[in-house]
Amino acid sequence: MSAASHFTDSALRGPPALIGIDWGTTNRRGYLLDAAGRCLAEHEDGDGMLAARGRFDAALQAMRAALGVADTPLPAILSGMVGSASGWIEAPYLDLAVPLTRLREHLVPVPGVPDAVIVPGYCERDPTAVDVMRGEETQLLGVLALDDDPGRRDGWCVLPGTHSKWVRLQHGAIAAFATFMTGELFALLTQHGTLAAASGAAHAPAVPAAFDAGLRAARAGAVLSNALFGCRARVVSGAMPASHARSYLSGLLIGTEWQGLRQRHGGQLPPRITLIGSPALAEHYVTAGAAFGVEVVRLEPRTVYLAALAALRAPA
């Protein structure tokens, strides 16, 4: 991706106090905050974990420069895949018994880089499944830090994306979560294999009716591998135009998240969930929520991340 920086009006800027970086696998976004938690500048580029491997220190310095504080010693809070086994240093996963509000006590210092710390992720282990998250915990802390809706401390959140996370919060802690490879599967299936040949052009316009049809298949309890072939069968048999296949597949995969969650929790879904994601992704989940009888309330990822940075930096 191309790099992009943004600075606030100088009249609104206080002294810089903190750098925060949401450091993903392929991209990263950095923020410069003042002592009150206001964002003074931000920068986004493609220097994610994979590109920065072996040169993380230099990549951090480049982010400082992009934010306009190359020569100013400031604390830095890093979250995401930078703390994975393939990242700068591994920040060990926390157990779910550690509340989100105590994340600050478990920040992992970066050796040789004064005042740079990494936010650890979480791991859930039970007799039948193991799941992990790294990066989403920071956004979830931001949801709690916003503190404008006490109901969110005991509700469901979904963070859609390459690997969608569904998280149940209870008393400000993560009670349970589940990961769905929705975005990754969609990319793989529409770019490779027999389904790709039948899925139409990559930039085909969205077809709401086809998306709804995919949702209905998921709600009916379709076995995913069988339903995926069914998408191809619809096209080659003439039952569905190829231009509809991508929308159908999107509905099927997103609907499978909702159906899977319902099955895991005794056939019940909460009346409302909080979504942390872009407007484009939110639109699909709002549609799916309506089909499953659930209200979806969206929070902006940037807003919750900035709230999390302020909470992580606040005095204990």
DSSP letter at 26 equals S
CA atoms within 13 A on the CB side of 19: 28
The three-state secondary structure class of 44 is: strand
- The domain segmentation of the chain, as residue ranges, is 1-123, 135-316
Give the DSSP H or E segment for 291: helix 279-292
Report pLDDT for 8. 62
Tokens linked to 20: 């925060």
Nearest to 145 by CA among 269, 307, 29, 31: 307
Report pLDDT for 12. 62
Cα 53 to its chain centre, rounded Å, is 21
- Name the residue with tokens 């990319």: 187
Report pLDDT for 129. 86
| pTM, two decimal places | 0.91
Give the DSSP H or E segment for 298: strand 295-299
Quote the Cα angle for 113-314-306, to 5°. 80
Quote the Cα angle for 282-22-246, to 5°. 35
* DSSP-assigned states of every residue in 159-179: E-SSSEEEEEEETTEEEEEEE
Query: d(Cα 33, Cα 238) in Å, to the nearest integer?
Result: 56
Query: d(Cα 103, Cα 87) in Å, to the nearest integer?
Result: 19
* DSSP-assigned states of every residue in 135-155: SHHHHHHHHHHH-S-GGGGGS
CATH of 1-123, one of 3.30.830.10, 3.30.70.3340, 3.30.420.300, 3.40.50.300: 3.30.420.300
Domains 1-123 and 135-316 share a fold: yes
Write out the chain's pLDDT in tens, 316 residues. Answer: 556 666 665 556 689 999 999 999 999 999 999 998 999 999 999 999 999 999 999 999 999 999 999 989 999 999 999 999 999 999 999 999 999 999 999 999 999 998 999 999 999 998 888 999 999 999 999 999 997 666 677 889 999 999 999 999 999 899 999 999 999 999 999 998 888 877 766 777 889 999 999 999 999 998 999 999 999 999 999 999 999 999 999 999 999 999 998 888 888 889 999 999 999 889 999 999 999 999 999 999 999 999 999 999 866 5
Dihedrals φ, ψ of 35, to 5°? -65, -20
Fold of the CATH domain 135-316: Nucleotidyltransferase; domain 5 (3.30.420)
